[in-house]
Structure 1
């Protein structure tokens, strides 16, 4: 059975869109109980059965934003590097990702950081890739984080912890709902859409993400579970983010903007 993605919600004037260049998902297997300690009530790690036992996944998702803009203001766009640190969870039974934080290499980071109360910070981010090389190479340098990876010779079919290609495509590359802790402790939420990824499978020669180390989820010598990368990927971002209310329907991108929120 193949994974065909999700229907694309109708873009609204207040949504944002961007193309993500040199996109990579660098994932780590971690202990589910350790992850659960960082999650709010009602949230739980998405546990999986790996070859040597149970666990869950977290990912550093790095890319270069190209022409990020709001649909009502297309003439104002930004290009910069970005890293999202996320975990795969359920929120009151609904699957999605928990965002620990985001690094952005642009002054506009002040908007989500100070006005939205989101866990974003500014950092220098350099991402380089050579997709025509044999093997293809991908490299990240960002503050105290780095990753160097090369494409594996065989296409990816099976991935430890997943039943088949459709399973890992849906759960690891296609979560459309996200949650994060707002300043003050409340939970915020937003949704995105992108076409089905056709990623290439890379392996690291070196990798270090101290962000996850400081959370106690990995150690400096923890090897990545996988690296899935793609030269370019389009994203719709269903701005603005909203406060998360468990009793309400989660993830509807058709809701009108709430008062006193600003697009992400």
Structure 2
């Protein structure tokens, strides 16, 4: 990625706004960022015109970056009502973009699969593109070597069935293809704090999160089938996407600032591609 100034993990980027109200804290386990190389022309129609795709060059081609991010919410809990806790699997589909109004590197959320009845709250109340699914993880983490010996995830009965099997080197990343330097790549891929999306009523929505700097290891793909990307025409039917990188972290803490916001005076026709019935 060619840009004038490299990105770094500044104090401002890592600072945590104190949670309040209905904000959420949660411990995420089996956190993986599986980043795919996608033809920019196939991604642009999904993105609001306010945002520009973050593009890299690789092997003579220009690519957009789309990550599939599976994990387990181990103790999803509201700050002010901490005693009810929920545990569920989740998988996010996100594209890396720059906000033309602020210059910030953020993500565009295509949607989320979530294995819990609680998905009804964001789906109906806040009109988020979140969908009910059955998500199963089969993971074994070796604490001594700080690497996964087994990492499998399968999503079924959903708008976005998926099957993933990863290997883990246990080594920290030393480079990320297409980026001028490693830290710039890590800031973009692992540390977007804001996300935008098409609400289910067509308007532009936004949310924000916080987490500390991730301490990831480098993985590789044995199996990666994402039905959503096939349905959207981003990957040929029956094929796996071209993989840019796999980053793994056994556990990390997240804060989610709620409720998500409706961006004023923005409206788009409701998205129907790859959506699930109500």
TM class by shorter-chain length? 0.7 to 0.9
1:141 counterpart residue number: 154
Return 5+ residue gaps in structure 1 as ranges: 248-264
Q: Select 1:65's aligned residue among 73, 76, 87.
A: 73
Aligned-residue offset at 1:49:
2.2
Deviates more, 1:6-15 or 1:142-151: 6-15
Report deviation, 1:135.
6.2
**What is the match of residue 222 of structure 1?**
241
Task: State TM-score, norm by structure 1.
Answer: 0.87
Instruction: Report deviation, 1:195.
Output: 0.4
Paired residue for 1:152? 169
Per the alignment, residue 28 of structure 2 pairs with 20
Q: 1:244 aligns with which of 253, 258, 263?
A: 263
Aligned to 2:225: 208
Which of 142-151 and 124-133 deviates more?
124-133
Change (3 A) 1:17 1:50: same
CA distance in 2, matches of 1:189, 1:26: 23
Query: Is residue 75 from structure 1 mapped to residue 88 from structure 2 by the alignment?
Result: no
Q: Which has the higher strand share?
A: 2
Select between 36-45 and 194-203 the one with higher mean Cα deviation: 36-45
| Native 8 Å contact 2:38 2:242 kept in 1 | no
Deviation at 1:223, TM superposition (A): 3.1
Deviation larger for 213-222 or 163-172: 213-222
Distance 2:203 2:242 in 1: 33
Moved more, 42-51 or 230-239: 42-51
Deviation at 1:154, TM superposition (A): 4.7
Match of 1:185 in 2: 202
Secondary structure, aligned partner of 2:248: strand
Distance 1:74 1:215 in 2: 39
Cα-to-partner distance string for 1:140-160 (whole Å, 9 max, x where unaligned): 111131110111365420111
The one of 105, 115, 121 equivalent to 1:111 is 121
For 2:207 and 2:188, locate their aligned partners in 1 and report how far apart those are by CA, in whole Å: 17
Gapped regions of structure 2 (runs ≥ 5)? 1-5, 267-278
Q: Does residue 85 of structure 1 match 2:93? A: yes
Counterparts of 1:95 and 1:216, CA distance in 2: 25
Q: 1:51·1:161 contact (CA, 8 Å) conserved in 2?
A: no
What residue is the counterpart of 1:128 in the other structure?
138
Q: Could you say if the C-alpha distance between residues 217 and 26 of structure 1 is closer, same or farther in structure 2, counting changes exceeding 3 Å? A: same
Cα deviation for residue 165 of structure 1 reads 2.0
Give me the CA root mean square deviation: 1.9
